């Protein structure tokens, strides 16, 4: 995540919301200033401060933002998160985009933390997927990291994941992996998805360094760990929830990827309240 990426995301969000201008905000005096504060109405892990701040500063560079919690903090319902002071028009115009970023990214961080806590003490890591909202992948993957999870490839350009259809089109597991090794040249990771133990054996025979176990049952995962015996890293994926993830981690797989971290988003309930300080007309 870079300042440039945050600025790009925020500019797009503000343009989407304001277009040629915030008509409702134009009802207010241009010189009026105000203070606002944001609270969370539910327990959460906070993520998204850079995007939140950038929304307000894009419209009022001189605004003052005072945070009372840190990025990644676990907070309880009704916690005061942040106070903002600045031009009233700017505060109100930036409110919705800023809260959208904060509530969405905090949701992802909160869910990720729950999965991380569920497997704490095991040797497995929680990873995300490419199942993100279009245009917000960098932000959402940042939120996963804030929640204690790990990122996989950012997109199709920085890693190779050979799935069922790739295998069919390439003519088999060995052929697909051979082509992948030649293309990767050690610059990016190579991973292959297998759907049963026979395909696992084929992938191991072809030297696969990273193997995705797609929708394996717990007994199949345990057997896969025994067969692999450290020759490759194993990643479990498919139908994994908070109810069964501890059992998955206890099979001995090193990685567990969860699409729900970014796909099943239930935004954290946040509230911003305003207090006007001055109201002079032009």
pLDDT for 193-211, tens place per residue? 999 999 999 999 999 999 9
Q: What tens digit of pLDDT does each residue of 85-110 get?
A: 999 999 999 999 999 999 999 999 99
Give the Cα separation of 211 and 221 in Å (integer): 12
Q: Where are the domains of the chain?
A: 3-115+266-278, 121-263
Residue 111: band (very low, low, confident or very high) from pLDDT cuts 50, 70, 90: very high
**Site of tokens 């993830």:** 245
Which pLDDT tens digit goes with each residue over 151-181?
Answer: 999 999 999 999 999 999 999 999 999 999 9
Work out the pLDDT band at 278, boundaries 50, 70, 90: low
Q: Is 254 helix (H, G, I), strand (E, B) or coil?
A: coil
Evaluate if residue 282 carries a pLDDT over 50: no
143 confidence band (pLDDT: 50, 70, 90): very high
Place of tokens 């903090």: 73
Which amino acids are annotated catalytic? 96, 131, 163, 193, 214
Cβ–Cβ contacts within 10 Å for residue 194, how many? 24
Q: Which fold has domain 121-263?
A: TIM Barrel (3.20.20)
CB 162 within 8 A of CB 184: no
What residues does 274 pair with on adjacent strands? Answer: 36
Q: pLDDT digit string (tens) for 238-264?
A: 999 999 999 999 999 999 999 999 998
Tokens for 131? 């199942």
Count of C-beta atoms within a 10 Å radius of residue 66? 11
Do 3-115+266-278 and 121-263 show the same overall fold? no
pLDDT of residue 37: 97
User: For domain 3-115+266-278, is the CATH number 3.90.1150.10?
Assistant: no
pTM above 0.85, yes or no: yes
- Using DSSP's 3-state secondary structure scheme, residue 116 falls into helix
What value does the mean pLDDT of the chain take? 94
pLDDT band for position 21 (cuts 50, 70, 90): confident
């Amino acid at each position: 995540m870079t300042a440039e990426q945050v600025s790009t995301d925020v500019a797009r969000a503000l343009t989407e919301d304001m277009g040629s201008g915030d008509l409702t905000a134009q009802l207010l005096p241009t010189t009026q200033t105000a203070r606002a504060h944001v609270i969370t109405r539910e327990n959460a892990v906070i993520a998204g401060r850079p995007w939140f701040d950038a929304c307000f500063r894009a419209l009022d560079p001189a605004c003052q933002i005072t945070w009372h919690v840190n990025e990644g903090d676990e907070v309880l319902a009704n916690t005061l998160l942040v106070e903002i002071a600045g031009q009233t028009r700017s505060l109100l115009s930036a409110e919705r985009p800023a809260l959208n970023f904060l509530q969405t990214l905090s949701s992802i961080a909160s869910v990720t933390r729950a999965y991380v806590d569920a497997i704490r003490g095991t040797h497995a890591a929680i990873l995300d997927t490419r199942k993100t909202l279009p245009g917000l992948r960098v932000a959402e993957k940042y939120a996963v990291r804030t929640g204690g999870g790990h990122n996989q490839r950012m997109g199709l350009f920085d890693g190779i994941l050979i799935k069922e259809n790739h295998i069919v089109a390439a003519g088999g597991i060995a052929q697909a992996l051979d082509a992948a090794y030649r293309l990767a040249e050690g610059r990016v990771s190579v991973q292959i998805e297998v759907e049963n133990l026979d395909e696992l054996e084929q992938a191991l025979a072809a030297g696969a360094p990273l193997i995705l176990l797609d929708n394996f049952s717990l007994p199949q995962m345990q057997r896969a760990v025994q067969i692999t015996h450290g020759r490759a890293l194993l990643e479990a994926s498919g139908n994994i929830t908070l109810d069964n993830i501890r059992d998955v981690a206890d099979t001995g797989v090193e990685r567990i990827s969860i699409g729900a971290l970014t796909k099943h988003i239930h935004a954290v309930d946040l509230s911003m309240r305003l207090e006007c300080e001055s109201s002079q007309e032009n």
